[in-house]
């Protein structure tokens, strides 16, 4: 006998490519196992507004390749209060919904944890481009965001080489430098600045100058936003090496958009199906992740309390190859 009969799904926080693929997987897997599936518009705000609708196969047709989220997302300060959480749980109970799949980041997970303590079975899926969720190798949208950054750097390199200039590229990653690290390594950036590793701007500027003196026609510096603004890094380099003419490029929300890569589509599909099967098995208050290619469940409380470990081995590799 299934532990749940009716499940709902919402997307919360910043959107990430692959969220739609995850929604599709949850809906189709849920229907396959004989569950009623409901969508909640605009995250926790939509839950409090009772903006809930039944979903069927047609609801998720032709969305696996689309970026963004068809369920939309919105901030909700009310849900951060105990009263808001009680209201949300009661709305789900009134509709007979006993399982909820939440796709989002750390704040979204915390909301799911609160609901689980109020009797709603919950599953969290890691939907964030930053790759800052622990107990999963990759988050939904991360691979696509890295691909977008690499493509942008490739284009910048063409024009920077033509004018023999340096480019400072600011990418997303307030607390986690994974986008900068993985994109920097893949794009062959000379310097990668991330929140997890101390750096010396004097050394960055001197190295840039030396690269040009040695005959290089361009220099690429990738900066995670948690380090600081790209414009500030540019000014710091100019101050230390006035002869350099670096240009700042802020990729911003372009990193969130576009069609998800096959990797993100497959990851989202696997996680969505895994979440449904875990709810059916009676699990709750768990975060779904992929470690070493295998699906894993971890207590949400443990996930939100644990900082994602930075891959220093990969960072050191990028540093060696940039010489």
Binding-site annotation: residue ranges for substrate: 128-130, 165, 172-174, 225, 247, 253-256
* Of 53, 100, 44, nearest in space to 75 by CA: 44
From 56, 94, 98, 130, active-site residue: 130
Binding site members for ATP: 14, 75-76, 105-108
Closest CA to 168 of 240, 242, 244: 244
Residue 68 burial (C-beta neighbours within 10 Å; 0-12, 13-18, 19+): middle
List Cα–Cα distances, 208 to 112, 178, 201, 214, 264, in angstroms: 47, 23, 10, 10, 35
Q: Identify whether 232 is a catalytic site residue.
A: no
Q: List beta partners, residue 290.
A: 295
Dist CA 222 CA 232 (whole Å)? 13
Element (H, E) at 150: helix 142-163
Binding residues for Mg(2+): 106
Q: How many CB atoms lie within 10 A of CB 267?
A: 27
Pick from 255, 202, 192: nearest CA to 224: 192
Alpha carbon of 88 to those of 78, 116, 283: distances in Å? 10, 11, 20
Q: Is the Cα dihedral 16, 21, 27, 33 positive or negative?
A: negative
* Residues 109 and 303 sit within 8 Å (Cβ to Cβ): yes
Q: Which residues are catalytic?
A: 130
């Amino acid at each position: 006998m299934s532990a749940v009969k009716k499940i709902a799904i919402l997307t919360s926080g910043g959107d990430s490519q692959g969220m739609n693929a995850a929604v599709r997987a949850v809906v189709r897997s849920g229907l396959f196992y004989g569950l009623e599936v409901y969508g909640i518009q605009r995250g926790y705000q939509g839950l409090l507004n009772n903006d809930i609708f039944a979903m069927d196969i047609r609801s998720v047709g032709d969305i696996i390749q689309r970026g963004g989220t068809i369920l939309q997302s919105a901030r909700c300060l009310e849900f951060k209060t105990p009263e808001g959480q009680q209201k949300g749980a009661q709305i789900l109970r009134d509709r007979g919904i006993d399982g909820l799949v939440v796709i989002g980041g750390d704040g979204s997970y915390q909301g799911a944890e609160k609901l689980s303590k109020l009797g709603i079975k919950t599953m969290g899926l890691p939907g964030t481009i930053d790759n800052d969720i622990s107990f999963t190798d990759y988050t939904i949208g991360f691979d696509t965001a890295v691909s977008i950054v690499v493509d942008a750097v490739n284009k910048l390199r063409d024009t920077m080489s033509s004018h023999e200039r340096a480019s400072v590229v600011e990418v997303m990653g307030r607390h986690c430098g994974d986008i900068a690290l993985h994109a920097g390594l893949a794009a062959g950036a000379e310097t990668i600045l991330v929140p997890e590793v101390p750096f010396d701007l004097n050394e960055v500027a001197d190295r840039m100058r030396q690269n040009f003196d040695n005959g290089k026609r361009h220099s690429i510096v990738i900066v995670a936003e948690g380090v600081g603004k790209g414009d500030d890094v540019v000014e710091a380099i100019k101050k230390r090496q006035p002869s350099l003419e670096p240009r700042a490029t802020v990729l911003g929300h372009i990193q969130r958009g576009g069609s998800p890569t096959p990797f993100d589509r497959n990851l989202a599909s696997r996680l969505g199906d895994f979440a449904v099967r875990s709810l059916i098995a009676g699990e709750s208050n768990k975060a779904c992740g992929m470690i070493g290619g295998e699906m894993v469940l971890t207590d949400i409380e443990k996930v939100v309390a644990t900082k994602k470990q930075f891959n220093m081995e990969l960072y050191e590799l990028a540093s060696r190859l940039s010489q």
